[in-house]
Chain A
Amino acid sequence: MTAAILTAPKRDVARFAPAPVRWSAHPAMPSRPSTQPRFLRRSEAELYEMDELALVEYVRDAKAALQDDQAKLAVHMLLFKHERRMRYRVAIRTPDHLAHHADVVADWVLERVSRSALKLGFEGQSVGEWVNWWGTAIDRQCISFWRTARGQSLEHEQPLSSEHAGEEGAPPDKLGVPLDVDRLLAQVSYSGIVQTALAAVQNSMHVQAIRLAFWDDLESAEVARRCDTTAQNVDQIKARFKRTLRQECRRRGVNEP
């Protein structure tokens, strides 16, 4: 409530006179409210239904809330959802003459890709971008594996020198021999090849047709129905995409039968 107060004849000055303050008992202040949202524990089934971005966020939130058992549970779930497929993807990238070592490579790659996944920031990202990232991470870690002492030991099919140091007849350390990086690089870039080939497809309907035909395993007639085109066109789109894949494989030197 204000009151205009005339103070001097020459100048009218309006002053705000504060209203009388009434004090009354208030309820006691609660303890300082937490600025952190409360962590909600999820069941195994709920975690399984989460997409990968949400699952990784859950791990981060669990760690921040000091709920280590939940963080571990979520990492177990992430591995459970992806490990089998990741092992196959690593096997595809392992040269045939080293296929019997695919599990060793996969163990190494799986740990590092999973660790990297937990460090990503996911603000505004889509599951599709996750799929691309996951594939690139596998490509990259497979390359890195073959540069490790373990990888070079396998590649040369020699026992790792450090594992037998001091033993009679222990093998000499020959790991200074340069690795044929280009050859191995070519073997592992399948994610990059597919992403490059898809990026070259300008027409979004064609991209959809490619996904439905190849990865949903639908007949051309069904793809044509869903994409509002003809089966003949779908066959041409498929043939063109495979040609692009072939060219990209050749460009990267992936030509090992």
Chain B
Amino acid sequence: MELQVVEQSDALSHVALRGRLDIKGVSESQMKFTVATSLRHKPTIVDLSGLEFIASLGMGMLVDTVKALKRSKAGLVLLSPQPMVREALVSAHLTGVCPIVETLDEAKAKLGLSQG
């Protein structure tokens, strides 16, 4: 499980997850993910285009991040998940709190940020 920090600015946290968010992936990435997202208290984009697998532990990690960001009135958006990851997120009824978008512009718009 690889976590890439794409942007850390005053306006936004943007990270990309690659690999598998299974029990091993969560244990490898959770702390770094928390530091790069919820601890920054900024609107957050999580790029899932490189994520091959997610299970309930990984979903729990995302939901915990949503809860933490909510306290700072910041949102979280999931960017371009692969089809089976998307299906798993939808079947778990997570998209209400972790909306899915396909482009970076959509992600920024969803978070109320100016595009570009």
Binding partners A and B: no
